[in-house]
Structure 1
Amino acid sequence: MRDLTKALENLKNNDGHFLQSPIISFNDFLREAKKHPERVLRDVYQVYSDMVDSHICEGLDEYDGDPESIGFLKYDCGRLFVEGADRAFFADRLFANRLMRHVDSFKVGTKQNKIYIFDGPHGSGKSTFLNNLLRSFQKYANSPEGSRYEVVWHLKSEQALESNNSFNAIAEKLALLLENEGKKDLAAEMTGVSPKEIDSEGYFYVPCPSHDNPLLLLPKELRRQFFDDLFEDDRFKWQLFTQKKYEWIFHDEPCTICVSIYQELLKKMRSPLKVMEFVKARPYIVNRRLGEGVSVFNPGDKPLKQTIMTDNRIQRGLDGVFGDSKKVSYLYSRYAKTNNGIYALMDIKSNNSERLIELHNIISDGIHKVEDIEEKVNSLLIAIMNPEDKKMMDDMHALADRVEYINIPYVLDLQTEVDIYRENFGRHIDESFLPRVLHNFARVIIATRLRTKSEAMQEWISTPGKYKMYCDTNLQLLKMEIYTGYIPEWLVEEDMNNFTRKRREKIIAESEKDGWKGLSGRDSIRLFNEFYSIYAREDKLIDMSMLGKFFRKFCKRDRDILPMGFLDSLLRMYNYTVLQEVKEALYYYNEEQIARELKNYIFAVNFEPDTMEFCEFTGERIEITEEFFARIEARLQIDPRTSASFRANVQKSYTTVALPQEMLRDGRDISQTTLFENLREKCIYGLKEKVLEPFLKNENFRRAVKDYNLEDFKTYDKKIRDDVTFMMENLQQNYGYSRQGAKEICIYVIDNNLAQVFSEPKLELASS
C-alpha cells in the first residue's frame, strides 16, 4: 500500500480555516474593520464589483495615443469565466466592455433597486455565463480578499438550559426505544433535534438570517462620529464620508430580528455598550447549493410550499431569554438567505415569471412581508432572458424603470470565436491550418450574425468599392476588424482622418443590434467539427480553397445565410494579405544603401544635371545626370512624364521645411526629416512591390520552393538557395508558418499569379 502520509499532510495543510466560520467578538471585529476598512465596509454591490476587478486586469487600449480613441478596451476575462470552470464561457471584446460598464456603475453611484437582465438569443452562452459568474463570486466571497462579516448573537438563557437538559433526557430515552425496535434512522433523527446550540453554561448562538453587517447595529445617529473616532486613515475617512458607495453604512438598518433582539436587550441592560457585548461576528459564507448568499432558480423549479422559515431550537432559546411572549420572532423568508448576496433567475418563463412578479415590491421598496414582520431585502438581482420572453416585460409597465438590460448576443469578435474552437477541439487544431485560414472560418461564421447594411459604416465610407480588393461591398470585414479592436492599415489617409470619436462610438453602438441572428454558438461548433473532420489530414494543411468549397456547399442549403459575394471578398482579402507576407519575407534590400541613395537624391535636386558635386550628407562625390535621377526615381515608382515636377516638389520641401525648420531650427539630421521618411517609405514600398518579379517566370525558383529542406534542394544554384531559404525562414519566424505551411503558401502565391493580380491600377488608392 502506498504511503499516504504526504497526501494526508497536504490535506492537513490546506488553507481551509477561513471556511470554518470562526466567530469573533465585536471588539475583534472592530479591530479587523480598522485594519481592512475597504474590505469590511462593503455591500454586495461592492463585493461584486471588487470580484470582477480582481479577476479582470485593467483593459488594454492598443491606440492609447490616438486622440479619437473611445476607450474600447481589450479585457482578459479568462480568470473570471474560463479558469477552473466546468464549461468555459468566452466573452468577446464587445460584451467585455458592456460588462465592465455595468460593473463600474456600482462604483460611482448609490445602489438602485433594479434587476439586471442579461438578454440574448438561444445559444449565445447566457446560462454558462451566469453559472461561471456565480461560481467566481462564491469563490471570491469565501476568500480572505472577498470576506465580509455577519451578525451572530451570543445569548444566555437559564430557562433554555433547563429545557435543553430535560429535552435531551426525553430524546435519549425515545431514541433508545426506537433503536431497540430496529428503527436506527429514526433514532438518529430524534437525537439530532435537540437544541445543541445551547452549551452547558446556557449560551447559544442566534445567527442573523439576513447576514447583516455588525456595524448596522450601531444607532444611525451615532455612526458618523463613531467611524470618525474608529478610523485613523484620513484618506479612507474622506472616501467613507464623501463617496456614494458608502452611503449604505449610514442609512441602512439591521433586519427586524436583530432590531428586536437589540431593543429587548437594551431594556434589560440599559446600556448600548453592554448590549454590544452579546454581539459576535463571523465570515459570511456563500454556498449556492444551500441557497446561502447565492440562490439560482430555474423555470422548472416549483415554488416552495413553505414560504416562511424559522428554527424551533433558536426560537426556544429566544423565548428562554425574553419570555414566552414571542417578543422576538425568529421568522424570515427565503429572500433573507440571499440578502447581501445574489438572487438569480435562469430564464424568465414558467415559474420564474411568477417569481419576477413577486420581486416587484422588493425591487421597488426593498421590503418583503413575513406575516406581520417587514423584512428588508438588499440583494443583487440578476436574470437571463431570451428575446421571445421580452414581451412579458413589456406588459409589466410598473417594472419598466426597474430593469436594466445588458445584451449578450452571439460572439462578434473573431479572436474570441477562434478561442472557442480551440477550447472545444484543442489548441492543436492550429497545426492543421495555414495561418489566417482558421480565423477566416470564424469570419464566415460572424458574417452570418451581422446585419448586411450598416448606416454608421456607410456614413463613414460612402464608396466602399475602392476597397474591393481587401473588403466586401457591405464593409462587414472591416466592421469585424473594428469589433476586434483593430484598425486596418489598408485604409486610405482620408478615411483614417474621418474615423472620428463620434463615428467610432456610432459603429460600436451598432453592435447592440448585431449578433441576434445567424449561426449560434452551438451551430458554429457543429459546423467546425464537420469541416475539420472532412479536411484535416497530416499531408496537407487546410487552405482557403477547402474553406470556400465547404461554405459554398453549405450556402446551397440556405442561400440567405451569407451576403452575396462575401466568400469572394474574403478570398481577395486573404490573397492580398499573404502576398504582402511573401513579399516582406523575400525583401532584404540593403537599408543603408537606400538611405545613402536618398540622401544623395535630396542633395542633387538642388543642382542642374550634368554637374559633379560632393554630397554634404554622405561625403560622396556624385555625378548628377538624368540617368542618376532616373535610376532612383524608378525605385520611387515615379512616372518619367512627371519626374520634373516631382524633383521640384522635393526641392521645395527641402528648402522650405526640411532645411530651415527641422534641420537648422530643431537640430535634426537629414535622415530624421519628414521629407526623407516619406521618400524612404515610398522607395521601400516600390522595392517590395517588384521583389517577386525576377522569380515569377523562373521555374527553377518554384521547384526550389517545393524541394526546400529535401535532398534535391542542394542541386540548385547558390543564389536561388539563399533566396528561398531567406524567404522560408522569414515566413516561419515573422508570420507563424510551419515549414510545410511556408512551402504551400509560396506555391499558392506563385501559381495564382497574385503579384500580377494585385499590381492593377485599382490598388493605387491604397498605396497613396
Structure 2
Amino acid sequence: MNENPYEQKTKDILDGLCAKIREKEHGAPIPLEQFLQIAASEPDRVFRNILQVFHDMIHSYVGPGSDEYLGDPETINFVYYDTHRLFVEGSDNPFFADRLFANRFIQHVTTFRRGIPQNRIYIFEGPHGSGKSTFLNNLLMKFEQYTKTPAGVSYETIWRIDKNELGAGEIEAAAILKQLKNLVETPGVRGVTPMKGADLAALSNKNYLQVHCPNHDHPIMQIPKAYRRELIDELIDDPVFKKKILYQKQYQWIYRDKPCTICASLFRSLLDVLGAPSKVFKMIYARPYQFNRRLGEGVSVFNPADMIPKSNLLSNLVLQQQLDSLLRSSNQVRYVYSRYAKTNNGIYALMDIKDANKYRFNALHGIISEGVHKLEDVEEDVHSLFLALMNPEDHNQVDQALSFSDRITYIKINYVLDYNTEVKIYKSNFGDQIERRFLPRVLENFAKVIISTRLKTSSEPLLEWIGDPYRYRRYCDRNLLLLKMDIYTGVIPAWLSERDRQAFSAKRRRKVVAESENEGRAGFSGRDSIKIFNEFYTAVAKKGKLINMDMLVNFFRKHQKGQDVIIPEGFMESLVNSYNYMLLQEVKESLYYYNEERISNDIQNYLFAINFEIGREEKCVYTGEKLEITESYLSSMEQRFMGAGVPGQAQLMFREEIQREYASKTLTQEMGLEKKPITETAVYNKLMERYVHNLKEKVMDPFQENENFRNAIKDFGTDAFKTYDRRIREEVSFLMANLQKKYGYTDQGAREICMYVIDKDLAKLFAEPTRPAPPPINPFDGLGAFAITP
C-alpha cells in the first residue's frame, strides 16, 4: 500500500503553524505563584495599568524624539517625533502627524506613565477632513499589535476552581456537565451567553471549573488590599525600583484598586468553604490579556450609527449554574457584569459624539466622575482609557456635560500646518517618484500655498518679536506666514538677524507655537489638498520638463478664480520672491570659488599692517610676506571687507576700530593668555566672514551680460558645449557639479535653474544698495543682519 507523499509534509506544516500560534498567543494561564516570579524579575513590565501600557506602546513606536536646538538655553522642547512606525507603517490608510500635533499628543501621553488617579475622557477635536478617524483606527491597530508582543503583554485573572477540593465527586460532576451540555445545545435558550471553545473545554474538564474574570482584573488585585504593600516589599529585590513602586504615585493603583465583585465573591466563598487562603491562591491563575477590537474585548469602538442594546447586563447562565452547584449556594457568587467590564483596563472609544454616541457619552458621566458603574444592586469599578472624536460643531453635546467637564481633556487634530508633513501626504497618495518631477523646493512651496489658507493672517507674538516685517521682504511675506511655517516645522530660519534670533526667547516661542491650537481649522482641508494637488500634477507633469515655480504660480492664479478659500493677499508674490532669493544664493554659492590660503594671508597681512604708519615697509610676522603699507593698500583691503563705494571716512573709522580690538583683545588676551593662533581669533573670523560675503556678492558679475555663458549652460552635456572656450567650460562645469553635490539637483534641474536665474536677471533684481558706514562704537554690531537683511 503506497503512503500519501503529502501526509508527513502537511503534518509538519500544521505542527509548525501551531507552534507559532502558541508562541504568539503567549501560552496557557499560569499559576499565581509563577506569575509572581515573573513580577519579581520584571516588575516594571508586569505592574502596569492601561494608561501605563498605552504610554509604553506609544514610546516604543515613536522613541524619545530629537531637539535640533538641544543646547539652546531658550529651547521649549518642541522636538521632532518620528511617528512613521505608529501611524504609517503597516497601515492601509496612513495618518501623517505634523510636528505640532505630535508634540501635543506625546505631551499628554507622557502624563499617563505617572498614573492619573481618576478617569478622564480624551476628546480629539478637529474639522472634517483632518484625519481623526484614520488617526484613531491606526492608533488602536498598533495598540493591539503591541499587546501581542512580549514588551506589551499585560495580565488578567483566571480562576481554576478545583472540584475535588470542593468535594464534588466525579459522578456529581459528570451529571452536572451532562445537564449543562444539554442546556448549551438546546436552541433558543434565552439569557445564555454563547460559550467560547476554550470555556467549553474547561467546563468539560472533570478536575476544575475555569472562570474568566469578565472585568479583566490584574492578578495582583486578588491579593487582599491590606497585604499588597507587604507582598510587594518582600517580592521586589531591586532597592531603587522597590522605592519607586512602593511610594510613587504612578503605582498607587496597586494598593488602591479593588477586585471586581465576581472575583471578590469567589475569593470570599472559596475561603469560607476551604478555610485556608493557600488553597484559594492555588486556584488563581494569570493569563495574557487578549485585546481584540472585533470581539470588543479590551478595545471597543462605537460609531454613531451603532445601536444601543436594550440591556447592559451580561451573564453566563451555564457558568452560573456550575458555580452554584460547586459552592452549594445560589447567588453567593453572581456572575453578572456590564458591557463596560469588557473594556475595563482597556480602551473605550467613541467615533464622533453624535446620534447614538451622544447617549453613550452621557452615560459615561458616573464612570468618568466616580470610576463606578451601578449594575442593578452591584457596583462595578471601571478603569479604562476613554477616547472620543469630535467635530467642532458638536461641541454643544459636550458642553451639556458640565458636571464632569473637569474630567475632559481636549486634544486638537487640525489640518496639517507643517509643510514637510504635507509633502509626505502627497508622496503617500501619488508615490515617492513625484519628487523627481519637481525642481528642488517647488513641491514644498506647493504645500506652503495650501497651508497659507489654514493660517491666520495676523500674529501678535510675531509682530511683537519682529516689529516691521518689511525688513525681511526678501525672505518673507508681510503677514510673516512663511516665518511661522518654518517655526512650525521646528526651524529657526537662518535669514533672521542675530539680534532677532537672540530675542526669540522661550516665552516668545511658546506664544508662537501656541497659536497653532487655533489654526488649521479652516482653509483647504486634507481632502481638498489631495484633490488640488492631483489637478496640478496632472496638468503640468509633462515628459521632459521639470515642474517649476512658474507652473505653480500660473496654476494657483487660475485655481483661485471663484474659490471660497482664498490664498492670503500678497503671499504668492512673497513666496516667489523668497524662492528666487534663495535660488540666487544657491547659484552664487555654487559658482563661488576662492583661494582660502590667499584670503587668509590677506587678512593676516591687514591685521599686521594697521599697526604701522603709512609709508613703512614691514615683513608680516604671520605670513612672512613683505608689505608696503600705503593708504591705497589699506583702502583696497577695506573695500574687500566693506564693499565698494564706502566713503573714506567710514573706512578710516573701521580701520581704527579693528586696530583697537586687535591691540586690546587679540594680542593681549586671545594670543597672549589663551595662546590662540591669529587664525582662531574673533577679529580674524569677523574679517573672514565679511571678505567671503563680498566675494560671493560679486561672483556673478562677469556672467550677467555674457551671452556665451547663458548659451554654454543651455548646451551643457551636449557636443556643442565643447565649442566654448576653456574658461567658460570650466566655470559652467564647476557650477553644475556644485548644484548637484550641494543642493541635490539633477543634470536637467541644474541647467533649468541656471537658465531661470539668468533669464529673470535675479542678480540685478536682488542687488544690494551701497552699504552704510558701520557705526564707530562697534563696526560688527548686527553683522549677521547686515549680511542678510535688505
Shift of 1:645: 1.3
Which residue, 612, 637, 652 being the options, matches 1:644? 652
Q: In structure 1, what is the Cα distance between the partners aligned to 2:12 and 2:733?
A: 54
Counterpart of 1:299 in structure 2 is: 304
Equivalent pairs: percent with the same residue? Answer: 49
Shift of 1:164: 6.2
Which residues in structure 2 correspond to 1:596-635 (within 5 Å)?
596-635=601-640
Query: Partner letter of residue 138 of structure 1?
Result: E
Q: Is the 8 A contact 1:124 1:408 kept in 2?
A: yes
Counterpart of 1:563 in structure 2 is: 568
Shift of 1:64: 1.3
Q: In structure 2, what is the Cα distance between the partners aligned to 1:528 and 1:191?
A: 50
1:6-35: CA deviations, max 9, x gaps?
987874664652415411111110111111
Counterpart of 1:50 in structure 2 is: 56
Shift of 1:57: 1.4
CA shift in 2, pair 1:312/1:469, >3 Å: same
CA shift in 2, pair 1:4/1:719, >3 Å: farther
Query: Partner letter of residue 676 of structure 2?
Result: R
Counterpart of 1:314 in structure 2 is: 319
CA shift in 2, pair 1:713/1:313, >3 Å: same
Query: Partner letter of residue 589 of structure 1?
Result: Y
Counterpart of 1:747 in structure 2 is: 755
Query: Partner letter of residue 689 of structure 2?
Result: E
Which residues in structure 2 correspond to 1:346-385 (within 5 Å)?
346-385=351-390
Shift of 1:518: 0.3
Query: Partner letter of residue 50 of structure 1?
Result: D
CA shift in 2, pair 1:347/1:763, >3 Å: farther
Counterpart of 1:89 in structure 2 is: 95
Which residue, 121, 124, 130 being the options, matches 1:124? 130
Q: Secondary structure at the match of 2:202?
A: coil
How many residues of Structure 1 are paired with residues of Structure 2 in the alignment? 759
Q: Is the 8 A contact 1:118 1:408 kept in 2?
A: yes
Which residues in structure 2 correspond to 1:236-251 (within 5 Å)?
236-251=241-256
Q: Does 2:104 align with 1:98?
A: yes
1:541-577: CA deviations, max 9, x gaps?
1000110011111222237611111100000000011
Q: Does 2:345 align with 1:325?
A: no
CA shift in 2, pair 1:47/1:559, >3 Å: closer
Q: Does 2:518 align with 1:498?
A: no
Length-normalised TM-score, structure 2: 0.92
Counterpart of 1:711 in structure 2 is: 719
Q: Does 2:421 align with 1:411?
A: no
Counterpart of 1:17 in structure 2 is: 23
Query: Partner letter of residue 30 of structure 2?
Result: I
CA shift in 2, pair 1:763/1:348, >3 Å: farther
CA shift in 2, pair 1:546/1:762, >3 Å: farther
Q: Does 2:475 align with 1:455?
A: no
Q: Is the 8 A contact 2:180 2:318 kept in 1?
A: no
Which residues in structure 2 correspond to 1:195-210 (within 5 Å)?
195-210=200-215
Shift of 1:340: 0.3
Query: Partner letter of residue 707 of structure 2?
Result: E
Q: In structure 2, what is the Cα distance between the partners aligned to 1:355 and 1:505?
A: 37
Unmatched tracts of structure 1, length 5 or more = 179-188
CA shift in 2, pair 1:482/1:171, >3 Å: closer
CA shift in 2, pair 1:624/1:248, >3 Å: same
Q: In structure 2, what is the Cα distance between the partners aligned to 1:465 and 1:200?
A: 83
Shift of 1:118: 0.6
Q: Secondary structure at the match of 2:729?
A: helix
Shift of 1:66: 1.2
Counterpart of 2:84 in structure 1 is: 78
CA shift in 2, pair 1:720/1:10, >3 Å: farther
Counterpart of 1:507 in structure 2 is: 512
Q: In structure 2, what is the Cα distance between the partners aligned to 1:6 and 1:546?
A: 62
Q: Secondary structure at the match of 1:384?
A: strand
Q: Is the 8 A contact 1:149 1:213 kept in 2?
A: yes
CA shift in 2, pair 1:762/1:214, >3 Å: farther
Q: Does 2:715 align with 1:673?
A: no
Which residue, 134, 139, 143 being the options, matches 2:140? 134
1:649-689: CA deviations, max 9, x gaps?
11111011111111111111111111010110111111111
Q: In structure 2, what is the Cα distance between the partners aligned to 1:146 and 1:190?
A: 27
Which residue, 696, 702, 705 being the options, matches 2:704? 696
Query: Partner letter of residue 237 of structure 2?
Result: E
CA shift in 2, pair 1:703/1:9, >3 Å: farther
Counterpart of 2:448 in structure 1 is: 443
Q: In structure 2, what is the Cα distance between the partners aligned to 1:598 and 1:70?
A: 40
CA shift in 2, pair 1:169/1:104, >3 Å: closer
Which residues in structure 2 correspond to 1:268-287 (within 5 Å)?
268-287=273-292
Q: Is the 8 A contact 2:146 2:152 kept in 1?
A: yes
Q: Secondary structure at the match of 2:35?
A: helix
Q: In structure 1, what is the Cα distance between the partners aligned to 2:129 and 2:770?
A: 42
Q: Is the 8 A contact 2:312 2:338 kept in 1?
A: yes
1:148-193: CA deviations, max 9, x gaps?
1111000134659657644765798999999xxxxxxxxxx99989
Q: In structure 2, what is the Cα distance between the partners aligned to 1:696 and 1:653?
A: 39
CA shift in 2, pair 1:311/1:603, >3 Å: same
Shift of 1:691: 0.5
Q: In structure 2, what is the Cα distance between the partners aligned to 1:344 and 1:103?
A: 16
Shift of 1:635: 2.1
CA shift in 2, pair 1:16/1:579, >3 Å: farther
CA shift in 2, pair 1:5/1:608, >3 Å: farther
1:511-549: CA deviations, max 9, x gaps?
111111100101000000110000012211100011001
Query: Partner letter of residue 301 of structure 1?
Result: D
Shift of 1:62: 0.7
Shift of 1:324: 4.2
Q: Is the 8 A contact 2:93 2:134 kept in 1?
A: yes
Shift of 1:626: 2.6
Q: Is the 8 A contact 2:174 2:206 kept in 1?
A: no
Q: Does 2:727 align with 1:733?
A: no
Q: Decide which moves more: 409-418 or 387-396.
A: 387-396
Q: Does 2:776 align with 1:756?
A: no
Q: Secondary structure at the match of 2:561?
A: helix
1:455-488: CA deviations, max 9, x gaps?
1111111211111111100000000000001111
1:364-404: CA deviations, max 9, x gaps?
11111222211110000000100000112122211211101
Q: In structure 2, what is the Cα distance between the partners aligned to 1:504 and 1:416?
A: 21
Q: In structure 1, what is the Cα distance between the partners aligned to 2:427 and 2:610?
A: 57
1:603-649: CA deviations, max 9, x gaps?
11111222211111111111222332233223223414221111111
RMSD over aligned Cα, in angstroms? 2.5
Shift of 1:312: 2.1
Q: In structure 2, what is the Cα distance between the partners aligned to 1:290 and 1:253?
A: 26
CA shift in 2, pair 1:167/1:53, >3 Å: same
Q: Is the 8 A contact 1:160 1:321 kept in 2?
A: no
Length-normalised TM-score, structure 1: 0.95
Q: Does 2:38 align with 1:32?
A: yes
Query: Partner letter of residue 760 of structure 1?
Result: E
CA shift in 2, pair 1:177/1:398, >3 Å: closer
Counterpart of 2:778 in structure 1 is: none
Q: Is the 8 A contact 1:285 1:293 kept in 2?
A: yes
Q: Is the 8 A contact 1:469 1:572 kept in 2?
A: yes
Q: In structure 2, what is the Cα distance between the partners aligned to 1:666 and 1:513?
A: 52
Q: Is the 8 A contact 2:115 2:251 kept in 1?
A: no
Q: Does 2:728 align with 1:720?
A: yes
Shift of 1:111: 2.9
Q: Is the 8 A contact 1:114 1:363 kept in 2?
A: yes
Q: Is the 8 A contact 1:150 1:212 kept in 2?
A: yes
Q: Does 2:513 align with 1:469?
A: no
